[in-house]
Amino acid sequence: MGRVHEYLSSKVSNGEKLHFTLIDPDKVGDLGKLEKFANELAGYGTDAFLIGGSLGVTPDEADEVAKVLKKTGLPVIVFPGNLNCITRYADAILYMVLMNSLDTYYLIEAQIAAAPLIKKYGLETLPTGYVVFYNETAVAHIGRIYPIPITKPEIILAYGWAAEMLGMKYIYLEAGSGSSKPVPPIFPKLIKQHTSLTVIVGGGIRSVEVARDIVGSGADIIVTGTIVEEKPELLPNIIKVIKK
């Protein structure tokens, strides 16, 4: 494992809770404003930037956004909706398997297609099991997911064990960008209690209260994306409660 993994795992091992800021290149207008905003987020205490989007991202957009975010000195990690998000200017990529997809493309074909690009660009890979909970978001539709029954939290533990047995280091529990509800805290709690995976949770986190609940469940990393676009003024307090 490389530099970014060591940076993240050392923080988690020390008991820190991390915040990732998700930037969708398709929704970035002014790169100058992005640079100012990224520096502000670094000052608030965000630990890394994710670059990704389910639709509409061009390779050129991903490149330009990555170059701007790299100026903060924080890790820039590709969060790939597809191959179009992969940029040589990032530091690492969440090398993901969409574990509850019904489409073999997201289970293995995309990973195979991406592998030569990742090798060529020299990106560090962060092996990640990716589980999408709800079916009303763009990622759920594009990824053809089989939703997780909210009344059966023990099911997520089977996913966590499978990810661990396959050699993955991270599991990303995703409500979906723009989701009306977050992942229930019992799900990351079970994964944290019964596996050694680093637990990432994203989607539907739009308030300090929700962020506090998910951090309290044992999640290691909280990702905020939609709120970056819609209510950025809430981010300082959300990051503060995560880093508390």
Domain 3-243: CATH superfamily, name plus number: FMN-linked oxidoreductases (3.20.20.390)
| Cα angle 149, 155, 158; round to 5 | 155
What is the spatial distance between Cα 216 and Cα 210, in angstroms, rounded to a whole number?
Answer: 10
What is the spatial distance between Cα 5 and Cα 12, in angstroms, rounded to a whole number?
Answer: 10
SS (H, E, C) 66-135: HHHHHCCCCCEEECCCCHHHCCCCCCEEEEEEECCECCHHHHHHHHHHHHHHHHHHCCEEEEEEEEECCC
Q: Is the pLDDT of residue 189 over 70?
A: yes
Domain limits, the chain:
3-243
Name the pLDDT band for 183 (thresholds 50, 70, 90): very high
In tens, the pLDDT along 113-162 reads 999 999 999 999 999 999 999 988 888 999 999 999 999 999 999 999 99
In tens, the pLDDT along 55-108 reads 778 899 999 999 999 999 999 999 998 999 999 999 999 999 999 999 999 999
Q: What is the pTM of this model?
A: 0.95
